[in-house]
Amino acid sequence: MPQATPSIVASACPFDSLPISIERESSRTSALVVLALAVPALCAVIVPVVLVLAFAAREVWEAMINKPVEVAGLASGRVAWAALFLVPAKRIIQRGWNHRNVRITTERVTVSDKGMFSARLWTAPLAEFRGVAHHVRATLSGVRHELILVHSVTGRSVLLHSADSISQPTIDRAVALLCLPQLPARELYRVTRRGSSLPGLAPRAEAQAA
């Protein structure tokens, strides 16, 4: 099943003063497009099973009794094929219906995520972040420029600002306000995995799932 990262609609972030409050909502358009493309393939897996159960239930029951191993293998294959579509579909829906609130003070970064299936809150000291990176992302709707607060642990980097273009003066204001260095975009791909032990870095973030 094709994977897609939904485009992001983020509030303007002028970097005038702290604290900074950012609201970010995922665009549902790209998520719906990907799901629409996946529906025919998913139907090709599910519809034959439904038809067999509807019109040949007795034969299926007899096959389960007489050849349980073969039937179990066939059923496992169908379930595996369905999972190949359903699991990514759940992730796409969760990302496409996600709403994020970010608050940055002189000491801490607090992130609240609310989605269709879950809610999550975590916080980390601003000093744990490595810097600010200017990243250019290619999306379904074109090229987007992003200003990202980079953390050393995967999943903790925070999108500060996104636009069709981001000027250097805007980047300079962000790094001056946060008292962090500007990082090259390649640093985004050098972060460690979540939970990895880093010298001088203890996991202080708190997560709450519902």
Q: pLDDT at position 9, please?
A: 46
pTM attached to this predicted model: 0.59
Strand, helix or coil for residue 207: coil
Q: Provide the token pair at 122.
A: 């975590």
Contacts of 68 (CB under 8 A, 6+ apart): none
> In whole angstroms, what is the distance from residue 19 CA to residue 106 CA?
7
Q: pLDDT at position 17, please?
A: 86
- Tens place of pLDDT for every residue, the chain, 210 residues? 433 444 444 545 568 888 988 887 766 666 666 667 667 777 777 777 777 777 777 777 777 788 778 778 777 777 777 777 766 766 666 666 678 889 999 999 999 988 776 788 999 999 999 999 999 987 666 788 999 999 988 788 999 998 888 999 999 999 999 999 999 988 887 754 444 333 333 333 333 333
CA max distance for the chain: 75
> In whole angstroms, what is the distance from residue 116 CA to residue 112 CA?
14
Residue 156 identity (one-letter amino acid)? R
Q: pLDDT at position 202, please?
A: 36
Architecture of domain 8-27+98-189: Roll (2.30)
